Structure 1
Amino acid sequence: MLVRNKQFWITAIAFSFPAGVYEAWQVVLDVNLDPKVSQSTAGWMDFYATVGGCCSGMLVSRFADYFTRQIKLFLLVFYFLAAIVFLWCTFIVTDILPFDIVSLYAAIILGGVFLDGGGPLFFELVVEVSYPVGEGVTSGCVQMICSLAGIIFLSLVQVSPTDKQWMNWCFFSVIAMAIPLLFLVKANYGRADIDDLEVSVEEETQSVNP
């Protein structure tokens, strides 16, 4: 059932490719920024981006129930901002813009905030479009695609270890690719409808039997 669900595959690819490439991109960040940025500085950039992403992810998760039916809109905003920020980062690294360590810090940290902040919402959307398939099966398939994307990216790094500029353009491209894919997603909130119905029935029962 999941294999034949086109909406699942569109949503899963839109999430898994940027997330998988981002994880791999973080691993080789020191190689990517060498020699402009030291290994230690690159590590701190990655650290702050991860912390910022965790904080934004937890914050979004906390309030996700309040805008369940607006998930697609919020994801479009998050990924549009992430694409702009990582394009800015790419311009700095490739010398299209003047190199500035503060701007690079800001770009990488903000990118982590926007990209990881959309993670919980993407999980909710994937689960919604794949309902009634179980969450465990859905999340397992998404994680498999995510790992595959990271493996492909790291394999390309091994093929071309001296040419580093393509890493940033590739990363920006997969984020930009997710935006039109999100427009193709037909948000179906069947699981949310059932949850709302159960809450409504429970409230009516409590009002009848105080």
Structure 2
Amino acid sequence: MMIFYGGCFGSLGAFGIARLTDIFSNHMRKFILVLNSIAIFSLVWFQLIFMEVLKVELVSIYASVVMSLSLLMSGIPLLFELSCEMAFPVAEGITNGILTMISNIATLLFLGILMIPNISTSWMNWVMLTSVCLTLPALLALKDNFSRLQLDSKTEKKPDNF
């Protein structure tokens, strides 16, 4: 149920974040940074519950999982869009295809490890937290260069009056 709610809120959040990003188009990286930072907080919260440092309550588990899923899923379209901006003039289809392939390979490796006999699942929480934490330095080092957006803004034509 938690994943269902996280998926629903993530999908709705993606629409809201997309609208905000349309309004503030040159701040896409900052939106992703905020989403990932709050997601890190919720993943740490979940890990502390899992390690029984914090009191184990069903409401806290639901809140931390749904919040982290929602935030991370809301940021995925922004990551794809930012990648297209950074890779310009490479075609969007090529950029998105490579990103999807890398994502699928990482997912295959992540889930494929579970096929090892007698392996626990506690490492999965740490991998998730670490992978989201690794995005922060990469995003902070990234320069805001929106050449595709600037080109689109310059070439937009106003409709002719007939």
Percent of counterpart pairs with the same letter? 30
Following superposition, the deviation at residue 64 of structure 1 comes to: 2.2
Give the TM-score normalised by structure 2. Answer: 0.93
Return the match for 2:76 from 87, 103, 119.
119
What does residue 171 of structure 1 align with?
A: 128
Out of 134-143 and 160-169, give the one that drifted further. Answer: 160-169
1:54 corresponds to 2:11: yes
Moved over 6 A (4+): none
| 1:47 counterpart letter in structure 2 | F
Are the equivalent residues in 2 in contact too, given 1:60–1:120 (CA < 8 A)? no
What does residue 129 of structure 1 align with?
A: 86
Following superposition, the deviation at residue 158 of structure 1 comes to: 2.2
Q: C-alpha distance in 2, partners of 1:163/1:125?
A: 36
Following superposition, the deviation at residue 94 of structure 1 comes to: 2.2
* Pairing 1:136-175 to 2, within 5 Å after superposition: 136-159=93-116, 161-175=118-132
Structure 1: stretches of 5+ with no match in the other structure: 1-43
| 1:54 counterpart letter in structure 2 | S
What does residue 25 of structure 1 align with?
A: none
Q: C-alpha distance in 2, partners of 1:161/1:85?
A: 29
What does residue 7 of structure 1 align with?
A: none
What does residue 145 of structure 2 align with?
A: 188
